[in-house]
Every structure is written in C-alpha cells, then in structure tokens.
Chain A
Amino acid sequence: MQAVVETATLVGVEAVPVEVQADVGSGLPSFSIVGLGDAAVMEARERVRSAIRASGLEFPNGRVTVNLAPAPLRKHGTGFDLPIAVALLVATRQLPADLAAGHAVVGELALDGSVRAVDGLLAHALAASRRGLGLLGPARGGPAVCGVPGVAYAGVERLGMLARGQFAVVTPPRTRAGMSGELELPDMAEVIGHAQAKRALEIAAAGGHNVLMLGPPGSGKTMLARRLPGILPPLEGEERVETALVHSVAGLDTRPALAGIRPFRAPHHTCSLAGLVGGGSPPRPGEVSLAHNGVLFLDEFAEFAPAALQTLRQPMEDGSLTLVRAEARIRYPASFVLIAAMNPCPCGFQGDTERRCSCSDTVVDRYRARIGGPLMDRLDLMVRVDRVDPERLLEAEPAAEASGSIRSRVLAARELARSRPATPNARLSGAGLLAACGLDRAARSSLTKTARSCHLSGRAITRLLRVARTAADLDGCERVTEDHVMDAVAFRSWDR
C-alpha cells in the first residue's frame, strides 16, 4: 500500500517541491525515512508515531518506508512531520485518498497530535500556489499568509481532526485592510533639534541614499534612524510579499510587512558574520535580508568586524546577496537603506560642547579609515548628530514637523523620479546620472568650484550629484540648480 503527499523544503527564501512517498508493507515492524533528511527529519519518526497513536489512529504494524523525492536534494526542518503522517494514514486507508489532493502539506507534530507552526509558511504557500495547489498547514500559521494574493490556506489544529474532516479553509480577514502602520511607528515630531539630520533623512528617504551619522554617544542617532521607516513610502504590493517572505523564512512575524510597514533592523556590532549577511546550517537569512526593502541601522559602525563591513558591499551594489555553499547557491534579497552611525572619534566626544575630546588627529584618522574607501563610496550622505543642549530639551519649542508631512514630500519626490533609468536616485550613475541632473551653467560652474576648493574626488562628485538630484526632486524641480548642488555639498563625506 502506497501513498504520495506533496510538500516542500526551504532553500533560501524558496520552497522547493518535495514529494513524500510512503510505503507500508508486511515484514518486521520498522520505520525508515530516506532522502537526505537532516537530524530533524530523522526525528520525525518518533513524533509521527506518537502523534498518530495519540490521535486515536493506528500506526501501521509492518515495514514502513518513507522516501522524500527528489532524493538528492537535502531536506531540513520539522515541517515534514505532518505530510509524513498524512501519507502513512492514506496508505493505511485511515484517511481518504483524496484528502490531500490539491494541497501541499506542511507542519510539525507534537507528541499529542497537535500541529505546530513552522518557519517559512509564506514561502510554502507561495510555492504551492505557483503549482496550482493550496496549502494545508498549521492552523496557527494562518495569519502569517493571509492577505497574500493567490494563496489558499487550510489550517488544521490537530492530526485527529483531519480524520474527522475537521479542518478550516482560512480566508484572508478583511479587517485592518488599510493598516498603514503609521500609528505604530515613532514620529519625527518627537525629535527636538537635529534639523540638519532630519533633512538628511528626508533626502535619504526620497532618494534611497545611504547615510553616515557622526555624533557623540547619546546624541540621538538611534532615535533619528528609528524614525526613517515612518517617512519612507509604505511598501507596495510586490515589495510587501518579498519582505514578508524573508521574515517568514526567518520565523518572524510577517504581518507588519504585509501591512506595508518597512522593516527596521538594528543588529549589534558584535553580531556574527552569518547573523549579519546570512548563513549557518541550514542557511538562514541574515539581518541585511531581514531589512529587505527597509532600513538597516548599524550603530557603532566602525566597531563592526572589517570582514563584516566588507561583505555589505555586495548587497549594497546588487540589492541581493548570494551565499555559496557546497550544497547550493542561495540568493537572499537584500535591498536596504543603510543608516550607519558612529562616534566621530574613538573617545566619542570630538566636537562636543561639554566633554573634551582626548583624541589626536592621527588617532581620529585611523579610526575613520576603518570604514574603507569602497564602502564610503556607497554612503551618499554624511551628517553630524550632536548633542542638543539639555536646556533646549526642556524648553517649549514649536513642535517639529510630523513624519506624515515629511512623507508626503518624499512621496512627491519619488513620483518625480519614477521615470529615470534607475530608481531610486541612489542607484543612478554614469551618463544616466548626468542626464538626469541636467545641470545648468551656474550649477555646473559652482560644482567645479566646490570640487576644487573642497578637494573632491571623482567618486565624491558622483555622490554629490546623486544627492543633488534628490534635493531637486524634493523641490519639485526638473533640473538640478546651484541650490541643490549646495544642498549636497553640506552633506558630503569627510574631507581627506
């Protein structure tokens, strides 16, 4: 007696189809699983056996073989428990043969027969829908995949309910359809002072530019960075699914991304390389991928391991990251706005009005050199974030501008940039960049003058132009004028 059930295993953010083939024959009682499963897959035998018994069903008393096809593909995780159990029950005619037809099945079993959630349900659901199937999975996983177009999901709470035909087809709840998340995000209006840093973030949001913030400890760098998602445009249809997919695979809540909230990730500088860019066994997406379509905030930027900093270059260039492993090449999406923050010097107090800096120029230069030229070339904006006089924090100042109104300018600027060869502006380069800027004579001559007086390199000029283009977009200008070039000059990186 044989049965076949469709399921899948995760490779990167993709669920690759796997067929669970069960064969129950006569012979001495045994239970083996073949097909390159990892330790978690092998342990499925114990969970499946107990879960079937606990559900009042009968575990086949004979020679049981389960094959996971295609056999050469490595499989990992506990999601095979439920499809294996279903295949065995179908093979022994305890479940109707057509029960799992039209569905891929995934889920982990507890010994008492309840079905537990697994990571990557959204990936499984999308893979199933591409094959014209629905997904039969844990009931608790429903919310993670709801609202994704084309996905049909049936949730099951306990294995025994399957036998009784009690499983619910989950349909996307229509509630909170317009959940924009603005209510839950911190607002720029709460930040006192820091006018220039806010302006830098506005430009960054409009043009997708990476920002380097320099400032003493406790000056508000983190506070400002956390408010960037709130002035970025909400995630659009395709972006929502892309981002939610990565979060799903990593076992995070997918609902914020599906509601359009851009992710904000802030790994600590002691974060391992695998934690930052992804990896491990089985490979999991790193922080850079979890920040896909959102904001990656790296505080204490200069304290990150040099190797970690250098690996950031590929995603910053390509918007994705490829891990090459013996078993597979895995591509994770990783397109993010990087907000890097660091102290201006090793002691942290250079330029502070109250504490005296104890660093010599040489020490400061060495500290800053840790970032490295190629990475600096990808940081379009640099801004100082200095401590605000405590007295000012207590003064009743006119309220700062709210995120919502900044966001509307950002949206208008992005609208203007839509027709360019590359979007956002941070991706413009070469001839496309020059053409997009359409510098007038005054802007051109002031740019050359500045390049000379500030000793700007060719790359620095490129960065300057990109930022100037975005500044012009924010002003609603088709052409970049001298004013916009000057806007960019104010945010240029440190002078060599």
Chain B
Amino acid sequence: MSKAFETHELRLGEEGYPAPLETAMRPPEVLYVAGDPGLLDYGLAVVGARRATPYGITCARRFAGWAAEQGVTIVSGAAHGCDNAAQQAAVDVGGTSIAVLGCGADLDYPPSSSKLLAHLRQHGAVISEVPWGRDPTRYAFPERNRLIAGLSRAVLIVEAALPSGTFSTARHAEDAGRDVWAVPGSVLAPECRGPNRLIAQGATPITDVSELSKALELVGLLAGDRPTPSMIVDTTDPVARALVADPMRPDDVARELDLDIVDVARRIARLESAGVLRRYRDGRYGPAERG
C-alpha cells in the first residue's frame, strides 16, 4: 500500500461541496475525496479511448500538458490510454489534476494507473461517488463520466470509437451545459470517428494549442495572451513528412516513396534519435509523443 492520504466525505448542501457539481446533472449525495478537496473547482476534462492510437496519446499529452502548465486543472478518469496520458502530462509539468473513478476513490483501478493515482492522492485529488473500497462495476463508469463532465467547464474529446464511454462523456457534458471540444483525427481510423462526428454536430475543433488557448479564454479558464507553441511537425524530409501524416512500416515507406530500404531505415533511425519520430509498439513509425 502506498503512503497514507487525506480522505474527506463531502455532502450535498453542506459547506465544502464543490460548486461545479451543484450545477451538474444529479449531483451525488456524498462525494468521497482522497486528497485535497480544495482543488475541486472548474477544470478542463480531457478524455479519450483506452485503446488509443499514438496520435491520440500525443494529442492528450500535448493539450493537457500545455493547459496544466497555464494553471488549468485537468479532470479525467485515470483510465488506460488517453486519460492516463493527459493526467500524467499534467503531473509532469507540475500542474493539478483530478481523477474521477468508478470504484472507491481509495482503490488503484486500473492497475496500470496506480502510480498516477498514488501521486494524485498526495498532490491532487481522486474522487468518486461510490463508497470507499467498493470494487469497479460495469454500470459505475457511465455515471463516473457524468461527474467528469460536471467538474469541468469544457470536455476535450481526444479519441473515441462509436459507441464508447468517452462518447457518453460528451453526451453528459451537453446535458450539463458544458462545452464540448474535440480533436479531429484521421477519417480512416475507427478511434477518430467519435471526435470527428462531434465536430460535425457542432463541437469546437481543437486543431492546435492556439485554438485551445482561445477556447479556454472563452469559457473563462484562462485570461490574457500567452505564447502558444505550434504542434505542426515542421520538416522537409519526405520520409518524416510521410510518417508524421500517416504512421507506416519502413517497407511501406520505401515502396511509397520509391526509395531503397537501407536508405529509408537509416533516415528513420536518424529522425528517431532526433526525437521527431518514434517506433510504435506495432512496428510502425510515426510522430513522437512530445509533451
């Protein structure tokens, strides 16, 4: 077991109950908080698929990391994939983050996020509406998404298949009157159908850090001008350009660009050691995750 942490039980209507939740759909009677209850104010929810693509992970890291650096609290579900990436990015830049769980707030679920959760209980907050020690159940997660939406001014959807839990968070956000933002993705990838559909339905597309900055100003989470690094990978190398746009295997790059495999492999390795590209777990190369 990790270090001891503060625990609080906040009751609806009593002092200390987080204001954002009061305006949310069906606010929970009791909110179980592991960590600092003072942090429970409006934040930015960043959520996405568990089986995320490297593109999704990169976007989650980049957007959440930048927002957290500006002092915006990142709210998410600590799930594997995008959620974890977003919250870890917030932690990495020294920002604040709140994890909303579908099980007891004292449990490490999923196990792959146990380090993150342990950190948040000390330096952030892990909250839940189910009592301490209760195991995760299937139906608790859609409800958990309701709280994620409730705690935020806006929900940024990074990647989501259709239908999916992430997509349901967007529905909850609309119900609670929160903004829905989405990161557009490839029209080829099933993981990007959710955000692309949301954009078609009127969600704000977040295509760069500058867009995110403007949107955060509009919902009152940020004020004043600040520098916004571009996310575009600027390179003239044809191999890098091809792989940034569409992760591929070296064999396919060599064929598409009609180059010799030895040459392609060397170029990719150079770009990889320069931090532009990365080898994905499935053997393809694509843009490196940088946050």
Contacts and interface: CB of A to CB of B under 8 A. Distances in A.
A361 B79 CA distance: 13
A344 interface: yes
Contacts of B8: none
A453 B269 CA distance: 11
Interface in B141-160: none
B13 interface: no
Which of A357, A364, A386 is the most central at the interface, judged by chain B CB atoms within 10 Å of its CB? A386
B251 A195 contact: yes
B254 A195 contact: yes
B281 A490 contact: no
A194 interface: yes
A44 B10 CA distance: 92
A350 B251 CA distance: 17
Contacts of B268: 490
Interface stretch (B167-175, B233-241, B259-267): B259-267
A487 B262 contact: yes
Given A450-B272, A453-B275, A489-B272, A361 B281 contact: yes
A483 B273 CA distance: 13
B214 interface: no
B266 A364 contact: no
A214 interface: yes
Nearest to A388: B251
A212 to B, nearest CB: 12
Contacts of B283: 214, 344, 351, 384, 386
A193 interface: yes
Contacts of A195: 250-251, 254, 261
A357 B280 CA distance: 14
A486 B254 contact: no
B264 to A, nearest CB: 9
B123 interface: no
B273 A386 contact: no
A362 interface: yes
A486 B274 CA distance: 12
Contacts of B249: 196, 351, 384, 386
Contacts of B266: 483, 486-487, 490
B247 to A, nearest CB: 10
B146 to A, nearest CB: 26
A199 interface: yes
Contacts of A454: 272-273
Interface string B278-291: 01011110000000
12 contacts: A195-B261, A196-B261, A214-B283, A357-B282, A360-B80, A364-B281, A384-B249, A450-B269, A483-B266, A486-B266, A487-B262, A494-B281
